[in-house]
């Protein structure tokens, strides 16, 4: 009971202190990337990232500057780029359905599943924004140390390699450690929504994961 009371006390502290769960350096509601209404702020705002994409502009040679239409983007350029999606398969946003279906899995460990993937030689990549409260980096580091993977001891002994954005920028944007098929990215200056707050290094990371040029 004491432990549960302690957890609740910490949660109440964050709420009453008006701290943004997605980025602890910001006050709730003042995140420039994800402004949400009072009604939405009562929940986790599961669609904040898609609203960020829709409400912002992007510019391409053929489209010009215009609001992002996720339906057209995913079923057009993205589908064409991937080259593996059947013609009869159409992308649709299912954020609420997925969120509701997975509610029972929240706060449940998945260490055994990660161990199984690593043992089978499947590449596993973990990334964390250093300013995230919901999925804190320290928490992720803690469960990683509980892995039974045979390469864990060597992985934990490695020095982290700094990440930069372009040849002319000497500012460290994050760090990465990797051993065999396990990769861990620490992204600086970003909270829960890493691609929005650190797009350049995020693109670099995705290029490394997919082994494709940025």
Q: Is 19 helix (H, G, I), strand (E, B) or coil?
A: strand
- In the CATH scheme, what is the code of domain 109-210? 3.40.50.12670
| CA-angle at 206, arms to 204 and 208, nearest 5° | 70
CA distance 130 to 194: 9
**E strand spans, 16-163:** 57-60, 64-67, 124-129, 161-163
pLDDT along the chain (214 residues), means of 10: 41 59 75 49 51 56 61 91 92 85 87 97 96 91 96 97 87 96 96 89 91 72
DSSP codes joined into one string, 151-169: THHHHHHSPPEEE-SSTT-
| CA-angle at 77, arms to 95 and 79, nearest 5° | 65
CA distance 205 to 209: 6
What confidence score (pLDDT) does residue 62 get? 46
CA distance 44 to 91: 24
Cβ(18)–Cβ(28) under 8 Å? yes
174 pairs with which residues across the strands?
163, 187
**Does the pTM exceed 0.75?**
no
What confidence score (pLDDT) does residue 36 get? 46
What confidence score (pLDDT) does residue 20 get? 78
Report CA 141 to chain centroid distance, whole Å.
15
- DSSP H/E element including 179: strand 174-179
Contacts made by residues 40-44, CB under 8 angstroms, sequence distance 24+: 44/134
């Amino acid at each position: 009971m004491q432990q549960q009371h302690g957890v609740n006390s910490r949660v109440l502290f964050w709420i009453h202190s008006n701290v943004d769960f997605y980025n602890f350096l910001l006050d709730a509601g003042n995140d420039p990337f994800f402004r949400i209404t009072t009604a939405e702020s009562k929940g986790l705002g599961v669609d904040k990232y898609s609203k960020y994409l829709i409400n912002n502009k992007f510019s391409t040679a053929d489209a010009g500057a215009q609001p992002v239409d996720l339906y057209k983007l995913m079923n057009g350029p993205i589908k064409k780029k991937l080259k593996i999606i059947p013609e009869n398969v159409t992308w649709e946003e299912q954020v609420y359905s997925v969120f509701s279906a997975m509610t029972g899995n929240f706060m449940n460990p998945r260490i055994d599943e990660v161990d199984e993937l690593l043992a089978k030689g499947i590449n596993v990549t973990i990334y964390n924004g250093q300013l995230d409260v919901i999925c804190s980096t320290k928490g992720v580091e803690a469960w990683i140390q509980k892995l039974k993977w045979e390469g864990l001891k060597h992985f934990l002994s490695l020095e982290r390699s700094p990440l930069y954005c372009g040849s002319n920028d000497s500012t460290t944007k994050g760090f990465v450690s990797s051993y065999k098929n396990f990769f861990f990215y620490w992204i600086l200056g970003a909270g829960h929504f890493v691609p929005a707050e650190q797009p350049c290094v995020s693109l670099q990371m995705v290029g490394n994961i997919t082994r494709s040029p940025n």
